[in-house]
Structure 1
Amino acid sequence: MKLKILIIVLLISMQSFSQEKTFSSEEVAINELIDGTLLNPNDNSKSALAIIIAGSGPTNRDGNQNFLQNNSLKKLAEGLTNQGIATFRYDKRIVKQIRKGKVDENIMFDDFVTDAKSVLDYFKEKDNFSKIYIIGHSQGSLVGMIAAKDNADGFISLAGAGQSIDGVIVEQVTKAAPMFTEDCERIFEILKQNKTTTDYPPALASIFDISLQPFMSNWMQYNPVEILKELDMPILIVNGTKDLQVSVDEAKSLKEASESAEIKIIENMNHILFTIEGDNLENSKSYNESFRKINPEVIETIVSFIH
């Protein structure tokens, strides 16, 4: 009797494993700077491909940083590929540089755009997919819409800002520490002239450290609304009501820039695509909680848009 039960348990386990494994995984080196993971559905048909671009900081292909492990982008990729859409997600170039102990101090926002274009060109040349969409998350939304302009079949913004980064930061500082608003505005005016300054409050050093200012100057020259107006392709804009970093108003600004764009506001979804039922403390803690599942509605929305 015990043997019979054991056999039944093993058969059930094998069946559930086969059901979950609906895709193959392949490591792909785009160039010496960019490595990533390609997931392909197992049905062998020529599917659409979604290229996933991570947000700000040294974010890897899975959506993680050194002390923030949530696997949000890995879960997004696997969720999409389980629904028949191939995905490619890659480490930002700075991730590889950190691993090698050789970080380029002169790295610019434009370098991230160059990398995204290289990924898109690589898969366009391979011609293994029916269509190629770019999904940009947070900072990756701006990177993605610039890269998508000439060569992609569609663009998806996840938690992407609707204004240039200086506007985003001034707004965030005004909410959190309004006593520094004038300092922020003053420093950004200097950066707009491609100049640097050491005259900033120590409390703002994480934003305006002298080593970061050239990158910030480069980044803030791009206005997402103006770029989105130029995209002649299907566009989907997604934001969550529990996003602590990018408000729903930002998504609405992007929508106003493109009459044909679709917009989806997902109730209780936060910045890293998790469902948050509680307060801001739960929200903040989730950034380092890899056990959480990705919000199912974001998967459904993207799959429906691409299909």
Structure 2
Amino acid sequence: MLTAFALAAALVSDPVAAPVVLPSEPAPLHGTLLTPGGGTRAAALIIAGSGPTDRDGNSPLGVSAASYRLLAEGLAAHGVATVRTDKRGVGASAFAAGREEDLRFTTYADDTRAWAAETARLTGQPCAWLIGHSEGALVALAAVARDDTAVCGLVLLSGAGRPAGVVLREQLANVPEPWLGQSLAILSELEAGRTVAEVPPQLAALFRPSVQPYMISWLPLDPAELVAAYDGPVMIGQGTTDIQVGVVDAEAMAAARPDAALKIWEGVNHLLKVAPADRAANAATYADPNLPLAAGVVDDVAGFILGRR
């Protein structure tokens, strides 16, 4: 005999995935709407991190953990509909890229505002939550700095809490000379708003001239200042075995917004999965789509969103 809980679960159908398209120039942007089978209680837009990260959280740069797909599926089980998208220039949104030298951080913030309004419209909700992961957390903060009318609130996961230049200097600390000194010199020029024409081939992946205008638009942004200026509800989530940003970043944002919900997940890495502190073993999880999200991540995000409806 079915219990009442089992009967209710049996009556709830699987979530429904549907492609969604957002008009844009020079080409449309594309994503996936995942609608809960048992009805929508809230809606959220999942904002991808840096680089060529697609709607599922995967990247040709060695990431196939599918963290965003897993997050969307987990939230659907709680009644939270999600839109997750291919960034401009990535996946099905490849033709929307334009020239790299024309890209600015505000481009992603503008796209986020447009997607938030579309997410609310598609789901019949009055507003959409922004769930920003990694650099997507800063994109979310930049988006609401200009207009938050379509946004319910922010969920900031594995996001830097300090300006990018501070974090980059930490990440560059193990680069050998002479590349370290050259990297720091280029970074200082970009922070001052000046491009650098001559970049050693070994540093082109980070500092190539075509990406420098984007970096100049990104480096002045201070996540702590932005989160302090936003007056909507905020959740900050951070794992203790994240090898890209750290608990210090979450604490920096939480200090700027003492009323924010701060969740620190023990033994959880940048991709929101259980991982050891050892760098090699930690990095191995980046290529494992079968490894689930860490226990508590989905429940904490869903609980925060649904607790503020």
TM-score between both structures, scaled by the size of structure 1: 0.86
Aligned 8 A contact 1:161 1:246 in 2:
yes
- Indicate conservation of the 8 Å contact 1:51/1:135, yes or no: yes
- Of the three residues 23, 35, 54, the one matched with 2:30 is 35
- 1:69 partnered with 2:68: no
Alignment check: 8 A CA contact 1:23 1:40 kept: yes
Q: Does 1:51 align with 2:50?
A: no
CA separation of 1:131 and 1:117: change in aligned 2, threshold 3 A:
closer
The match for 2:4 is none
Give the conservation status (yes or no) of the 8 Å contact 1:60–1:90.
Answer: yes
Of the structure 1 ranges 153-162 and 19-28, higher mean CA displacement relative to structure 2 is found in: 19-28
Match of 1:93 in 2: 88
Aligned partner (choices 107, 116, 119) of residue 120 of structure 1:
116
Q: Paired residue for 1:234?
A: 233
> Comparing 128-137 with 53-62, which one deviates more in the overlay?
128-137
Distance 1:19 1:268 in 2: 36
From the superposition, tell whether residues 163 and 180 of structure 1 become closer, same or farther in structure 2 (CA, over 3 Å).
Answer: farther
Moved more, 134-143 or 178-187: 178-187
CA drift at 1:271 = 0.6
Q: Which amino acid aligns with 2:183?
A: C
Query: Where does residue 279 of structure 1 map in the other structure?
Result: 278
List runs of 5+ in structure 1 lacking aligned partners: 1-14
Amino acid at match of 2:16: S
SS at match of 2:156: strand
Q: Which amino acid aligns with 2:23?
A: N
Offset at residue 178 of structure 1 (A): 7.5
Aligned residues: 291
Structure 2 spans left out of the alignment, 5+ residues = 1-6
> What is the alpha-carbon distance in structure 2 between the residues aligned to residue 276 and residue 140 of structure 1?
22
2:13·2:38 contact (CA, 8 Å) conserved in 1? no
**What is the RMSD of the two structures over their aligned residues, measured on CA atoms?**
2.5
SS at match of 1:161: coil
3-state SS of paired residue (1:76): helix
Residues 90 and 19 from structure 1, CA distance in 2 versus in 1: closer, same or farther, beyond 3 angstroms?
farther
Q: 2:104 matched to which residue of 1?
A: 108
Q: Which amino acid aligns with 1:168?
A: V
Residue 288 of structure 1: CA displacement?
1.3
Give me the whole-angstrom Cα distance separating, in 2, the residues matched to 1:128 and 1:64. Answer: 29
Bigger shift: residues 134-143 or 120-129: 120-129
1:195-274 → structure 2 map (5 Å cutoff): 195-274=194-273
Please say if 1:82 is aligned against 2:77.
yes
In 1: Cα distance, 2:72 partner to 2:85 partner: 11
Partners in 2 of 1:233 and 1:179 — Cα distance? 45
Alpha-carbon shift at residue 27 of structure 1 (Å): 1.1
**2:163/2:223 contact within 8 Å kept:** yes
Residues 240 and 268, structure 1, Cα contact 8 Å, conserved in 2: yes
**CA deviation after TM superposition for structure 1 residue 130, in Å:** 5.1
Shift >6 Å, 4+ stretches: 17-20
1:26 aligns with 2:12: no
After TM superposition, give the deviation of residue 285 of structure 1 in Å: 1.4
User: Structure 1 pair 101/227, CA: closer, same or farther in 2 (3 Å)?
Assistant: closer
Which letter maps to 1:169?
L
Task: Tell me which moved more, 92-101 or 283-292.
Answer: 92-101
